[in-house]
Amino acid sequence: MDFRRNLIWYLFLAPAVIMLLMFMALPLIQSLELAFFEWNGLRPREYVALENFEDLFDDRFFWGALRHTLIFAAFSTIGTVGIGLMLAMAIARRVRGAALYRFIFYLPVMLPMAVTAALWVRMYEQNFGMLNVMLRSIGLAHLEGTWIASRETALASVIAVAVWQFSGFPMIILLAAIENIPEDLHEAASLDGISEPQRIWHLTLPLIRPVLISIGVLQFIFSLKVFDLVWVMTLGGPAESTSVLGTFLYKEAFRKQEYGYASAVAVVMFIVIFTVTYVYQRLMRVESVEF
């Protein structure tokens, strides 16, 4: 009887559960399994135990990709959250045109990443690209660079594009947090004769700290999954200098047909990102700020 009464709820849940099992849980388990095999997709796969992981940890291109991913995530997080915070604080001062600034600074976030990347490939181009042309025309020709075309500057150039595109995202969140601070607190501080830098340091920043940490972690997790920007701008090159876990996984699997090896990469990626995300979710639930 109880089951029959509840049956309708199970039916309501069934499509979601089936889809998630089929397109998420099942591939996840298969990825984990495949990491212990050598397989080129054609011949029968061969069980190799931990060999893929041993090879992976000896593979300097894997370590390179991991290092680039962490550098990309760290610097694009610092860049977007740093700039986003400055913009949010500037706009929160009720500057004239605040609504317009807020509209404009979020605009690049709406761009498909493939478009952003293709656009910046053009901006970075050496001879006719906007960046070098501009530097030349204002007499700073000595600063001209090869940007994404040389190993030394490619990763930094890609990070700059990520910062350009996504600063508006933390800005919106932080602006909402700042505007949530009750007006009375600001007034009390002003009445006490506290200067604005002091007020920012002692009042605004501590109050928005939970949100600041939250958006920082979120941006970091998001950046660990970088693929589109790197793929469209550089394909991981030149000389693998912008290779990240996502592009490394793609190339091992779909360029070299090393499906077992690529699955080992996927497992490492899963462990790193899943752990960070899961811990973040747990922490966020208990942390909240009350006024």
Region 147-206 residues binding another protein, contact defined as CB under 8 A: 164, 168-169, 172-173, 176, 183, 186-187, 190-191, 193-197
Please choose, out of 55-63, 68-76, 150-158, 247-255, the segment that lies near another protein by the rule CB under 8 A. 247-255
Site string for another protein, 256-275 (x = CB under 8 A): ---x--xx--xx-xx--xx-
Query: According to the binding rule CB under 8 A, does residue 225 interact with another protein?
Result: yes
Q: Residues in contact with another protein, total (CB under 8 A)?
A: 104
* Least distance between another protein and beta carbon 133 (Å): 6
Q: Which of residues 115-134 bind another protein (CB under 8 A)?
A: 115, 117-123, 125-130, 133
Does 140 sit near another protein (CB under 8 A)? no
Query: 214, 223, 241, 243: which one contacts another protein (CB under 8 A)?
Result: 214
141 forms part of the interface with another protein (CB under 8 A): no
Rounded to the nearest whole angstrom, what is the least distance from the CB of residue 83 to another protein in the complex? Answer: 7
Under the binding rule (CB under 8 A), the answer on residue 78 touching another protein is no
Q: Does 17 bind another protein (CB under 8 A)?
A: yes
If one asks whether residue 291 binds another protein (CB under 8 A), the answer comes out as: no
Contacts of another protein in 85-104 (CB under 8 A): 86-87, 90-91, 93, 95, 101-104
Task: Work out whether 232 is an interface residue with another protein (CB under 8 A).
Answer: yes
The DSSP-derived string for the chain is -HHHHHHHHHHHHHHHHHHHIIIIIHHHHHHHHHTTEE--SSSPPEE-TTHHHHHHHH-HHHHHHHHHHHHHHHHHHHHHHHHHHHHHHHHHTT-TTHHHHHHHHHHHHHS-HHHHHHHHHHHH-TTT-HHHHHHHHTT-GGG---GGGSHHHHHHHHHHHHHHHHTHHHHHHHHHHHHHS-HHHHHHHHHTT--HHHHIIIIIHHHHHHHHHHHHHHHHHHHHT--HHHHHHTTT-STTTT--HHHHHHIIIIIT--HHHHHHHHHHHHHHHHHHHHHHHHHHHH-----
